C-alpha cells in the first residue's frame, strides 16, 4: 500500500514554502551568504527545522520557521527552495500543487516585487522540468497591522494572472481574530481572488465561523475544531467550504493527542468536503504519501475513500472549471492503471 499510494496522482493545497526547506539547502545557502548557523552538522541542524514527539503547542511548532525565514531573503534562495519543493512533490506524483508563503517576511533585502518574481521563477523552472502544475497563495499574517494585509492583497491581485490564485490569513489565531483583516479579504473577493483562512486549529469553532462570515473564506486551513459548535458545523456543511486537513501537523501542534482522535473521518462521513495536506513537509518530516498511508492504517480509509479525498482536493483547488475537469479525467485514468480499480 505504501508503494501504491506513492504512485497515485495527488494534489496538495495546504503547503507552506518556509516549512518545507531541505536541510542541506539551508546549510549551503547559509554558507553562501556567510550566515551563522546554530550548528553545521546536517543531523543536528534538522533539530532546528523539525519538530519531535515532545512538541507541545503551535507556538513551539512555529519556532521551526525562524531559521528558514532567515535563509529566504535573497532571490537565489527563494527561487531555489521553490524549485526544490516542486521537485520533491513531483517525486511522489503530486500533479497539482498550491504553495503558500508570506511575501512580506522575505523583504529584509528585497522589495515585494523582487520576492514575487524570484518565487515565480522557481515555479516556472519546476513546471518546465516536471509534470506538475503549481500556483501560489499569498499569506497575510494575523499579528501584523491590517494595513500589511491590504498590501499583500494588492500584491496578490497584481499577480493574479501570473501564478497567484489565492489569499490566506495565517499566524497567531488565538490572539488576533480574523475580522481585523476584513478589508484585505474584501479587496480579494472583489478582484476575483480566491480565499482560504487558517482557522479552527488553536482557536475553536467561532474562529471558523468568523473566517466564513467576515473573510468570505472558500476553504479553511485545518478547521478541525468546527465540530465544537453545531451551528458552525452546519454553516461549513451548507456553504460547501472545504477543510484543508493536515492530520500529522495537528498532532504535532497538540490540537489532538492521538491520530485516532482526529475528526477527519467524522467530517468525511458527514459529507463535508475535506482535502489532505502535509502543512509543512520539513517541520513535520512528512510527505503527502505518508499522510495518506496513515489515514489508511490508523483511521480505516479505504482506497475508494482515498480517491474521494484526492478528488475533493481537485474540486476545491483554485483553478478553472476546465482545468479541474481535465485533472479528474486524467486522475481517473491513472488511478485505474495503477490500481486496476474502476471508479
pLDDT single digits (tens) 28-51: 999 999 999 999 999 999 999 999
Q: What is the mean pLDDT of residues 279-285?
A: 96
Q: Give the residue numbers annotated as catalytic, written as ranges.
A: 201
In our burial notation (b when 16+ CB lie closer than 10 A, e otherwise), range 1-30 reads eeebbbbbbbbbbbbbbbbbbbbebbbebb
Q: Would you place residue 202 in the very low, low, confident or very high pLDDT band (cuts 50, 70, 90)?
A: confident
Percentage of the chain modeled with pLDDT above 70:
99
pLDDT of residue 302: 95
pLDDT of residue 217: 98
Of 64-78, 113-127, 264-278, 327-341, the poorest mean pLDDT is in 327-341
- Under DSSP, the state recorded for 242 is E
* Domain topology for 2-339: TIM Barrel (3.20.20)
Taking CB atoms within 8 Å and a gap of at least 24, the contacts of 142-145 are 142/169, 142/170, 142/171, 142/172, 142/173, 142/175, 142/176, 142/178, 142/180, 142/181, 143/171, 143/172, 143/175, 143/176, 144/104, 144/171
Is a pLDDT exceeding 80 seen at residue 163? Answer: yes
Calculate ∠ Cα 112-114-116, nearest 5°: 70
pLDDT of residue 5: 96
pLDDT of residue 343: 62
Is a pLDDT exceeding 80 seen at residue 53? Answer: no
Q: Would you place residue 220 in the very low, low, confident or very high pLDDT band (cuts 50, 70, 90)?
A: very high
pTM, two decimals, is: 0.96
Beta bridge partners of 170: 141
Q: Is 241 left (phi over 0), alpha (psi -120 to 50) or beta?
A: beta
Percentage of the chain modeled with pLDDT above 90:
92
Q: What is the mean pLDDT of residues 106-130?
A: 98
Q: Would you place residue 342 in the very low, low, confident or very high pLDDT band (cuts 50, 70, 90)?
A: low
Is a pLDDT exceeding 90 seen at residue 60? Answer: no
- H helical segments located in the chain: 2-7, 23-33, 42-49, 58-62, 66-71, 75-90, 112-129, 146-158, 182-191, 205-215, 230-239, 247-252, 264-270, 288-298, 303-316, 321-339
- CA dist 1 to 95, 242, 243, 292, Å? 20, 27, 25, 10
Is a pLDDT exceeding 70 seen at residue 69? Answer: yes
pLDDT of residue 58: 76
pLDDT of residue 61: 86
- H helical segments located in 36-173: 42-49, 58-62, 66-71, 75-90, 112-129, 146-158
pLDDT of residue 59: 77
- Across the chain, mean pLDDT equals 95
Q: Which residues contact 179 (CB under 8 A, 6 or more apart)?
A: 210, 214, 215
Amino acid at each position: 500500500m505504501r508503494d501504491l499510494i506513492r504512485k497515485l496522482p495527488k494534489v496538495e493545497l495546504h503547503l507552506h514554502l518556509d516549512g518545507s526547506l531541505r536541510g542541506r539547502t539551508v546549510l549551503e545557502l547559509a554558507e553562501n551568504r556567510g550566515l551563522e548557523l546554530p550548528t553545521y552538522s546536517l543531523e543536528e541542524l534538522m533539530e532546528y527545522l523539525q519538530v519531535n514527539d515532545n512538541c507541545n503547542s503551535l507556538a513551539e511548532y512555529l519556532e521551526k520557521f525562524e531559521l528558514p525565514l532567515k535563509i529566504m531573503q535573497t532571490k537565489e534562495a527563494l527561487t531555489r527552495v521553490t524549485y526544490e519543493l516542486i521537485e520533491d512533490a513531483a517525486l511522489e506524483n503530486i500533479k497539482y500543487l498550491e504553495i503558500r508563503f508570506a511575501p512580506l517576511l522575505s523583504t529584509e533585502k528585497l522589495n515585494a516585487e523582487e520576492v514575487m518574481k524570484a518565487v515565480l521563477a522557481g515555479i516556472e523552472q519546476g513546471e518546465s522540468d516536471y509534470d506538475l502544475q503549481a500556483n501560489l497563495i499569498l499569506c497575510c499574517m494575523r499579528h501584523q497591522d491590517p494595513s500589511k494585509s491590504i498590501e499583500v492583497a494588492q500584491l496578490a491581485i497584481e499577480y493574479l494572472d501570473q501564478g497567484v490564485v489565492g489569499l490566506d490569513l495565517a499566524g497567531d489565531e488565538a490572539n488576533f481574530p480574523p475580522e481585523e483583516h476584513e478589508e484585505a479579504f474584501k479587496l480579494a473577493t472583489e478582484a476575483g481572488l480566491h480565499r482560504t483562512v487558517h482557522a479552527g486549529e488553536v482557536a475553536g469553532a467561532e474562529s471558523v465561523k468568523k473566517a466564513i462570515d467576515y473573510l468570505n473564506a472558500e476553504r479553511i486551513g485545518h478547521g478541525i475544531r468546527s465540530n465544537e459548535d453545531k451551528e458552525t458545523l452546519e454553516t461549513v456543511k451548507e456553504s460547501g467550504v472545504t477543510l484543508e486537513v493536515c492530520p500529522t501537523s495537528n498532532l504535532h501542534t497538540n490540537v489532538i493527542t492521538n491520530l485516532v482522535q482526529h475528526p477527519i473521518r467524522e467530517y468525511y462521513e458527514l459529507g463535508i468536503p475535506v482535502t489532505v495536506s502535509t502543512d509543512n513537509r520539513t517541520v513535520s518530516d512528512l510527505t503527502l504519501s505518508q499522510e495518506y498511508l496513515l489515514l489508511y492504517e490508523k483511521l480505516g480509509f479505504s482506497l475508494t475513500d482515498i480517491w474521494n479525498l484526492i478528488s475533493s482536493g481537485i474540486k476545491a483547488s483554485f483553478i478553472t472549471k476546465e482545468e479541474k475537469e481535465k485533472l479528474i479525467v486524467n486522475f481517473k485514468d491513472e488511478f485505474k492503471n495503477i490500481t486496476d480499480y474502476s471508479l
